Chain A
């Protein structure tokens, strides 16, 4: 009967684990929905800014802002947006793989790399991997605020202004749907010029105080909003990935319990059979 008792204990502990994973799954599901809403709310701002930048850049072509100008690349800055917590499947690992691959490509061209890390998982990874980390921020929580990102972004923008980096890349998770999130690399700086359709405008804005400061402000805000969007999207990705991972963990625990239940029943049955045959044998001997 000893075997049966051990199995019963095991089943109990797996059931407890299952309860936890189930709870985590449900929490992640509700948080994901909110994160998705937040993701949608950030869109109009970036879209609007993009439109205005396109227009302003077209309206006075003689002023070339450094953010719009392509330079020879000697050093790149890479911003990596990761999560703060684990237990979300392969989300971070896939992201880091993409980052490392990207870094290798640049290194092959003799380009040096500065890293800017958002999220504590990225920090942990690159601490082990090595890499020149110039700025980082972590523990942004489920509702990241732009305030917490400004400093980190500023470090990279300053580096670009001063010519220490010639290109700024963003590695982030793209929220495709609940089941799939894809790591994605985008170029933040220089900003690729907007579409040709902007040329059709015949009118121009009245500027206050002047075109240059307006454009400066808009460009900075634009970069910030893109990075902020990436961070918000990453939260949605994290929650979706965690939900899926926890769901499969719960399912696996269920399978394991079923199997163990069978083994337990067999062991119990064997013990009873043995006992009966012992009694019968004993009775026969008397």
Chain B
């Protein structure tokens, strides 16, 4: 008896795995699920974990780590839409803040050239003042 189904594991960046399988085990939101051929239509969110694809009866299997995603099951086709990275709400939040910050910084940098010029002129002035003080000191030492 050889009942198989097709498995596609894809992420937004690339196709990770494609082939036939006897069974697939995935880390669903409410615990691990095993999918066998002719499973009824099923959709589930996945937690970060390992997907095991059993390729043959002899127990040969592929292990693929995913960091979350969605599992879609049709009777003869199983698709895993894998996330490319560990996703957490606050992590995303931090990234978003960073992107905002970058935009603000980039716009603020318009002033950078001006500030640089100002700083330079101040530096020159300070240096001149220092030289002046040094000169005064030297002349007072001589006296």
A interface list, Cβ under 8 A from B:
38, 41-42, 44-46, 48-49, 52, 56, 117, 123, 127, 133-138, 145-147, 150-152, 154-155, 158, 203-209, 213-214, 217-218, 221, 224-225, 228-229
Contacts and interface: CB of A to CB of B under 8 A. Distances in A.
Interface of B: 8, 10-15, 28-30, 33, 40-45, 70, 72, 79, 81, 83-85, 87, 92-100, 102-103, 106-107, 110
Contacts of A41: 13-15
A45 B11 contact: yes
A45 B43 contact: no
27 contacts: A42-B14, A44-B10, A44-B15, A48-B72, A48-B79, A52-B70, A127-B106, A133-B106, A134-B100, A135-B99, A135-B102, A137-B99, A150-B96, A151-B94, A151-B95, A154-B92, A154-B96, A155-B96, A155-B100, A205-B42, A205-B43, A205-B72, A207-B43, A218-B70, A218-B81, A224-B12, A228-B13
Contact of A209 (B29, B95, B97, B98): B29
A231 B15 CA distance: 17
A221 B13 contact: no
Contacts of B102: 135-138
Task: Give the 8 A-B CB pairs with smallest separation, nearest first.
Answer: A151-B95, A154-B96, A208-B44, A151-B99, A135-B99, A152-B99, A205-B43, A225-B12
A123 B12 CA distance: 26
A225 to B, nearest CB: 4
Interface SS of chain B? mixed
B107 A133 contact: yes
Given A207-B44, A225-B12, A117 B70 contact: no
Given A41-B13, A136-B103, A228-B12, A147 B84 contact: yes
A145 B41 CA distance: 32
B85 A151 contact: no
A38 B98 CA distance: 27
A205 B110 CA distance: 53
A136 B105 CA distance: 10
A225 B8 CA distance: 17
Contacts of A45: 10-12, 81
Contacts of A48: 8, 10, 72, 79, 81
Contact of B103 (A134, A208, A214, A221): A134
B10 to A, nearest CB: 5
Contacts of A52: 43, 70, 72, 81
Nearest to A144: B13
A72 B22 CA distance: 50
Contact of B13 (A146, A152, A209): A146
Contact of B43 (A44, A147, A214, A221): A214
**From B14, B81, B83, B110, residue with most partner A Cβ within 10 Å:** B81
A48 B107 CA distance: 39
Contacts of A42: 12-14
